[in-house]
Amino acid sequence: MADAYLGSFVHWIPLASGMVILLPGLSLVDSIEELANGHLASGGARMAGVGVAFLALIFGVLLA
Amino acid sequence: MSVAELLVSVGKPDEAIAFPRWMMLPALVLVSLGSIFRFQARLADGPWILLASAVALAGTKLGARLGNPLMGPFVGALLLGLAANLFARLRVPTPQLLLVPGLALLVPGSFGLRSLNSMLSGESTAGIDQGFQMFMMAIALVAGLLFSNALVKTEANS
């Protein structure tokens, strides 16, 4: 399914550029910063949220 | 067979053509304009967002020259955090005004997407590799921020 664009790099570029808005990258950095500062509960919860957001996004990508 | 293949025939495209280097400057202006909308900033804060984007991008390019691929995010976050904390001491009300739009350029979100994409299409080792790379980049960013907080004290982080 995904190799329609995985084999070629060009399909990846518009996909990634549109997806950049939705990706939880800032939350990932936030969660690691919270964990590093010792706020374990909020950091762990935020990291779990990041993981779920990634899984949800990749499901949509695979579907298309 | 994907939904897209049912609708249109997906052919093998040609090679991607990279933009010339000077496109960085208009792209920087565009990305800071986009950041104003994305983070719903005031239009008056546009110059600060442009400055943050420029510092983050320049730091990444500078760090990437140091050899280690993790030095790019580290130096970018370090310079960005230093700039944000210094300007928070001088005039900008809070360091977040520079930190958030600058950090949004540095975060390794696309690596996570690529990692899961690889894993789900059967290339587990490449996926694990890219996922680990994403975490290492995030940790490099956080290390840069922590160093910058240690170097310049503000009311927020003291």
Q: Identify which has the larger pLDDT, A20 or A64.
A: A20
Quickly tell me which residue has 């580290």 as its tokens. B74
Region for B11 from its dihedrals, namely left if φ exceeds 0, alpha if ψ lies in -120 to 50, beta otherwise: beta
Residue A9 binned pLDDT confidence (cut-offs 50, 70, 90)? low
Q: What is the pLDDT of residue B50?
A: 92
Q: Mean per-residue pLDDT for B40-60?
A: 89
> What is the residue-wise DSSP string for B51-68?
HHHHHHHHHHHHHHTTS-
Distance CA B107, CA A28 (A): 8
Q: Mean per-residue pLDDT for B10-21?
A: 63
Write out the two tokens for B140. 């490099």
A·B CB contacts under 8 A: 95
Quickly tell me which residue has 């170097």 as its tokens. B151
CA distance B111 to chain A (A): 9
**Side chain identity at residue A34, one-letter code:** E
Q: What is the pLDDT of residue B46?
A: 87
Q: What is the pLDDT of residue A1?
A: 47
| Cβ neighbours for B121, distance < 8 A, ≥ 6 positions apart | A1, A2, A3, A6
A51 shares contact with chain B (CB less than 8 Å) = no
Q: Do A4 and B10 touch (CB under 8 A)?
A: yes
Chain A residue nearest residue B117, CA to CA: A58
Using a CB-CB cut-off of 8 Å, the residues of chain B touching A7 are: 12
- Inter-residue contact B148 to B106 (CB < 8 Å): no
B67 CA to centre of own chain: 19
Write out the two tokens for B17. 């053509």
Among A3, A9, A22, A33, the residue to mutate for chain B (most B Cβ within 10 A)? A33
Q: Mean per-residue pLDDT for A39-63?
A: 90
Nearest to A26 among B1, B5, B104 (CB): B104
Q: Mean per-residue pLDDT for B24-46?
A: 87
The rounded percent of chain A whose pLDDT value lies above 90 is 31
pLDDT tens by residue, B72-97: 999 999 999 999 998 888 876 788 88
Distance CA B142, CA B103 (A): 10
ipTM of the complex: 0.74
Q: Mean per-residue pLDDT for B60-70?
A: 87
- Inter-residue contact B81 to B70 (CB < 8 Å): no
pLDDT tens by residue, A28-39: 888 998 999 899
Q: What is the pLDDT of residue B153?
A: 80
Q: Mean per-residue pLDDT for B92-114?
A: 84
Nearest to B112 among A33, A54, A63 (CB): A54
Distance CA A21, CA A62 (A): 18
Residue B1 binned pLDDT confidence (cut-offs 50, 70, 90)? very low
Distance CA A23, CA B24 (A): 22
